[in-house]
Amino acid sequence: MSNEDDDDLEALAAAMMGNDDDDDVVDFITQEQREEEQARQRRLARKRRLEQIAKQTEEQEKNQTVLSYDTTTTIAPIDDKNQTQLQQQQQQPISIAASVNGDNQFNSVIQGSISKQHEEDINTDVDKQIHDDVDDFDMFNTSVSPPQQVAKTIRTSAKTAANTSTIALSPQKSSGMHHKDDVDDVEGYYKAAIGEIMTLDVPDPTSLEEKGGVESSRTVQLRVLGIIGKGVFSSVLKCSSDAATSNDNQLCGLPSEVAVKCIRSNETMAKAALNEMKYLIQLRNAPGIVPLLLPRISTQQQQQNSTVPIRPPLPIDYRGHTLLIFPYEPYNLRDVLLKFGRGVGLSLTAVKSYFGQLLAAATHLQKHKILHADIKPDNILVSGDFAKVMICDFGSAMDASEGSEGIITPYLVSRFYRAPEIIMGLPVSYAIDLWSLAVTAAELFLGRVLFQGKTNNDMLHVMMETMGPFSSRMIRSHVLQTKKHPLPVHFLQQQSNYVFRQETFDPVLGQALHKEVSLVDTFKPTLQSKLLKARSPKDSRNEVLRFSDLLSKCLVLDPSKRITVKAALQHDFFKQTSPTTTANGQG
């Protein structure tokens, strides 16, 4: 906002407050003008607060490594032969298994669909269970998290945001401060209207003026096309950028369609958004990660990077809401699975391509010491040609270098994709993201969720039914944690052995009961048999066995014995096989 605009606002404010020399001025100020001026004053105050915070952030980061925001710089690929093979696989057409009923609209896009037959009945309750999951908001999902779990989600995100020392937000006086303008509902969500033109003042940290170092901005206009989803933290809007009249849309490099994540007008939610923005900036050039759309950097500014560090851009503010803009992708893995593999799963070729890309993206997360902490099919976007996948929604992400092993919360990550160490209150590591990726890959092939527990306790039970019992070392660590923290006790020691406290519900008494289940000779691994049962005639048996071996190593219950992401990428499952070997392996 220019100095002339500030003068105009001050003059208008003076007129509203009255003037002893000319009292007649007040008569010409309508109620609409008064409310408009108040809204402008709030936006101006918020912008000044953000600028002050940015200055404080610069001072805090003087002794830290300065991030480069040069869009021409790319992250070095993985140093192994499998990276080249994965890139070749990504360039090849992906064969996705068609759904039982078929879909001509999508089959025309896919080259060579594969039909898979199941000997089991299709679980029609899976979709409802997924959308009734207890925890987090899916950025591109239309479902809304259950109200009873909002408090748990907010507490987890608030703790994550509190650990973010480099970005903070000044407290607002009221979450409903914009209700007078009729732009928010009672819960602080922005009420977008289809066809609405959103005029955004986008801060441009790369175009600093020579005198005074004043940060300029660009005006970007977006037309609202629809509401993609709404959850605990925000609502997501699908917007068009080419329908606007501003040339700055092209200067900022915006695609024709974008997804705008509109954070609720709430202090805790705004902090979580800044936390997400921080990690997305670090991963801006990382393949397999949905990029945060930021203003382009000119060649002249790139040359000045060596002498003038470019600070992270301020978040976009629109009517009291923090906005994050992403490229719009039409599908996520949940959509692909429901359309092409509902109940029967996708072809192993598609699963291999998607799983390889996601593991490659996980290496970049680990390189930047970032835990995503909410990987699931809903948070994995798929390109329009179904060839590429990208991980999105970093609202629950955390910095592994800032003592994430001290975080004890049994509700981190959505339940079906939650690693056992989280449920048992053990320290978290990169292994929780690998677990979520492996469970997602298994779901893509099976056509149903691998671990469908109704509660955390039930999740541990179904995990042992598939992967075998927990080790005594892990159970001892869990029992020790329950003595230090108020966590549910899932295991007990009886003499020299441990037993599992399985939760049951007595409908007569109307209360929960616990049944002690022996771990000896009760739980046997069944993952391989499930995968072999789900394969189609066109899926090589040897390939399915290699896939099973990889998943078994990724889903080891003890995280200290779980395979690493780099080792998973080097597994035989991702190595090219000759046509002769593949043909002989089918049966």
**378 is annotated as an active-site residue:** no
Q: Write out the two tokens for 463.
A: 């995990």
In this structure, which amino acid lies at residue 353?
S
Are residues 333 and 444 in contact, defined by beta-carbon separation less than 8 angstroms? yes
Contacts of 511 (CB under 8 A, 6+ apart): 505
Residue 152, marked binder: no
**Number of C-beta neighbours around residue 580 at 10 A:** 8
Q: How far apart are CA 435 and CA 151, in angstroms?
A: 25
Q: How far apart are CA 423 and CA 114, in angstroms?
A: 37
Q: Write out the two tokens for 163.
A: 């650990």
DSSP symbol at 190: B
Token pair 């869990």 is at which residue? 478
| Helices within 212-289 (DSSP H only) | 248-251, 267-282
Q: Write out the two tokens for 202.
A: 């986008």
- Strands, DSSP E only, in 307-429? 316-318, 321-327, 331-332, 370-371, 380-382, 389-391, 398-399
How many Å from the N-terminal Cα to the C-terminal Cα in the chain? 70
Are residues 326 and 261 in contact, defined by beta-carbon separation less than 8 angstroms? yes
Contacts of 193 (CB under 8 A, 6+ apart): 224
Q: How far apart are CA 267 and CA 168, in angstroms?
A: 10
Q: Write out the two tokens for 344.
A: 């029967």
Q: Write out the two tokens for 251.
A: 């200067």
Contacts of 85 (CB under 8 A, 6+ apart): 574, 575, 576
Q: How far apart are CA 466 and CA 528, in angstroms?
A: 9
Q: Write out the two tokens for 454.
A: 């109704």
Are residues 452 and 429 in contact, defined by beta-carbon separation less than 8 angstroms? no
Q: Which of 317, 374, 378, 539 is catalytic?
A: 374
Nearest to 439 by CA among 429, 453, 427, 428: 453
Are residues 484 and 478 in contact, defined by beta-carbon separation less than 8 angstroms? no
Give the residue ranges of the annotated binding site for ATP: 261
Active site amino acids = 374
Binding-site entries: 261
